[in-house]
Amino acid sequence: AVDKMKELVASTIEVGSNFESSMANVQAISGATDEDLKLLTDTAKKFGSTTKFSASESADALGYMALAGWDAEQMAAGLEPSLKLAGAAGMDLALATDIVTDTMSMFGMEASEATKMTDMLAYAQANSNTDVQQLGEALKYCGASANAMGYDLADTTALLGTFADQGLKGSSAGTTLNAMFRDMKKNAKDGAIAIGDTNVAIVDANGNYRDMTGILADVQKATEGM
């Protein structure tokens, strides 16, 4: 019983030390004032006591947000959606937060859109044969290209979900979608791709890229019988 008590005390001290170290890291990265640090510390402790994730895990998640350039208020507001996403996905909180910040950066989303963003990933996980971690891995390879072509996160996760339902997931899905974007741009002439005797338009009358679902449907028609 004494040994068990010693282990508990040692564990408590270690957790407290890790938390303080992680919060000091957040302050160093973000340049948070003492007042900002108090806000973030209180937020991390609150979720550490009300969710399955510890205060130290919350502090580590805040570190990823700080690396993404978020300020204290943005970090405090963005922690809860990251916690919910990690919980729904059954994954490590720091990894979930890294996916959140990286993806939002690729699509030029504001920190205030964190809940909207995490809802999209959770929806894609629930409605296709993939999970948040695989989506995050795929987005690393195609997110920037998708955004450059005018596709938002909802468009892109829908496509990746379709790929996943066909057995193409993670980095393989991201690489494939990125190659599709690249080949479309490379082979287009006057906003269209020649397939046999058919020209498939990839941009609309305003010069914007058409919805990818529409493009693929036209490609399917053009290749019937080939």
Q: Which two tokens stand for residue 224?
A: 């019937």
Per-residue pLDDT of the chain (226 residues; tens, 9 = 90+): 545 554 543 443 344 458 888 899 999 999 999 999 999 999 999 999 999 999 999 999 999 999 999 999 999 999 999 999 999 999 999 999 999 999 999 999 999 999 999 999 999 999 999 999 999 999 999 999 999 998 999 999 999 999 999 999 999 999 999 999 999 889 889 889 988 888 899 989 888 888 888 888 888 888 887 6
CB 67 within 8 A of CB 25: no
What's the per-residue H, E or C state across 203-218? Answer: ECCCCCECCHHHHHHH
3-state helix, strand, coil in the chain (%, to 5): 75, 5, 20
